[in-house]
Amino acid sequence: MDPVLSLLEVSKDYPGQRAVDRVSLEVARGEFFTVVGPSGCGKTTVLRLVAGFEEPTAGEVRLNGERVNGKRPCERNVSTVFQSYALFPHLTVRANVEFGLRHKGRRFLGEMERRVSEVLELVQLADKAERRPAELSGGQRQRVALARSLVIEPDVLLLDEPLSALDPNLRKQVRTELKSLQRRVGITFLFITHDREEALSLSDRMAVMNRGAVAQLGAPQELYAKPQSRFVASFLGGINWIDGAGLRPEATRLAAAPPGDGARSVAATVLSSVFLGNCVHVQARLPEGDTVTAELSPGDSAFQEGQAVHVCWRAGDELRLAES
């Protein structure tokens, strides 16, 4: 790995609270790396420590192998896209993007014009260069914020939940554009989100945080299929707890009779069946009162409320987890 960013046993304390607890991770050059977790887990504090808006209580932050503790934000070659985008409403799109270069002290006009034109083409906003933010859609404003950060060619682009202000349909569209853009420019992205779907779909690697610490780090497929704790398993997707086994809903099956192929099963009663287009979610109650969810294909057998069924699964589909 060629790490452009390293956090070494980094902690951050506030009065009466430890927001970040001995976090260590490395982000490779050109990687799309996501820090994901619930509200209050410390993920935004990690971003602020990298940006220089906060200083660690302990540990080191390194960029390109150089310790940057104590350096001001303007002395670190990183750029931040904020949740609110922080665009200047009185400036045009072009002027908003130029601000990034002026802020870094690159005042040579010929270079500025070239850089700004190139990045506006990259984010497909060249024809909107003279418009103001109020004249743009939410997705276009987000791209202006990206362009302003990309134009300075940072070592790491920090993104603090940049899609949260968008409606769900636009959010999915911009998510696809963001991944494509990162691949084209090759800049390292450090993406902060509480949305597991964003984290799983965008990341090369990701760190799941809980209570200020990294609960697990790895590729999205690895974390989803082989979570090391109940917290990670539950945070990254639905989970059923049956007879001490952890099962994803898509690995949970329902049958009218016990299976004869060696699969495990328990008796249950159907509570509800909800058609979701590409799948059907069936909830069933186990004898001890716990509820489980099975994700079935629309072509599977229909199940009715109150029907006696058997919840079935193969032993190889169980997730082996720690209690935490």
Interatomic CA distance for residues 73 and 162, integer angstroms: 19
Tokens 């743009």 map to which residue? Answer: 136
Report the range out of 32-41, 124-133, 149-158 with the highest average pLDDT: 32-41
Average pLDDT of the segment spanning 288-310: 91
Where are the domains positioned within the chain?
3-230, 238-317
What is the reported pLDDT for 106?
52
What is the reported pLDDT for 138?
83
- What burial class does residue 131 get, using C-beta atoms within 10 Å of its C-beta: 0-12 exposed, 13-18 middle, 19+ buried? middle
Average pLDDT of the segment spanning 28-38: 96
What is the reported pLDDT for 166?
76
Closest CA to 184 of 119, 250, 93: 119
What is the pLDDT confidence band of residue 168, given thresholds at 50, 70 and 90? confident
Cβ-based neighbours of 183, under 8 Å, separated by 6 or more: none
Average pLDDT of the segment spanning 23-51: 96
- Structure token digits, residue 264: 């495990």
Instruction: Give the number of residues written for the chain.
Output: 324
Average pLDDT of the segment spanning 116-136: 90
pLDDT in tens, 143-164: 898 888 888 889 999 999 888 8
Q: What does the mean pLDDT of the chain come to?
A: 90
Interatomic CA distance for residues 306 and 181, integer angstroms: 50
In the β-sheet with 308-313, what is the strand arrangement from edge to edge? 253-255, 308-313, 264-275, 280-285, 291-296
Cβ-based neighbours of 42, under 8 Å, separated by 6 or more: 12, 19, 20, 21, 23, 209, 211, 212, 213
Interatomic CA distance for residues 260 and 117, integer angstroms: 66
What is the reported pLDDT for 105?
55
Instruction: For domain 3-230, give the CATH number.
Output: 3.40.50.300
What is the pLDDT confidence band of residue 322, given thresholds at 50, 70 and 90? low
Model confidence at 165: pLDDT above 90: no
Cβ-based neighbours of 59, under 8 Å, separated by 6 or more: 7, 8, 9, 10, 11, 22, 23, 24
Interatomic CA distance for residues 210 and 4, integer angstroms: 24
User: With the CA atoms of 8, 45, 5 and 154 taken in that order, what torsion angle do they form, in degrees rounded to the nearest 10?
Assistant: -160
Which of 86 and 63 is assigned the larger pLDDT?
63
Any bridge partners for residue 93, and if so which? none
Out of 1.25.40.10, 2.40.50.100, 1.20.1260.10, 2.40.50.140, the CATH code matching 238-317 is 2.40.50.140
Average pLDDT of the segment spanning 77-89: 86
Which of 223 and 123 is assigned the larger pLDDT?
223
What is the pLDDT confidence band of residue 301, given thresholds at 50, 70 and 90? confident
What is the pLDDT confidence band of residue 82, given thresholds at 50, 70 and 90? confident
Interatomic CA distance for residues 59 and 67, integer angstroms: 10
pLDDT in tens, 197-221: 999 999 999 999 999 999 999 999 9
Helix (H, G, I), strand (E, B) or coil at 179: helix
Least confident of 92-106, 184-198, 259-273: 92-106
pLDDT in tens, 221-269: 999 999 999 999 999 999 998 877 799 999 999 998 888 777 889 999 9
pLDDT in tens, 266-282: 999 999 999 988 899 99
Which of 180 and 15 is assigned the larger pLDDT?
15
Q: Would residue 212 be called left, alpha or beta, if left means φ above 0 and alpha means ψ between -120 and 50 degrees? A: left
Average pLDDT of the segment spanning 4-26: 97
Any bridge partners for residue 25, and if so which? 7
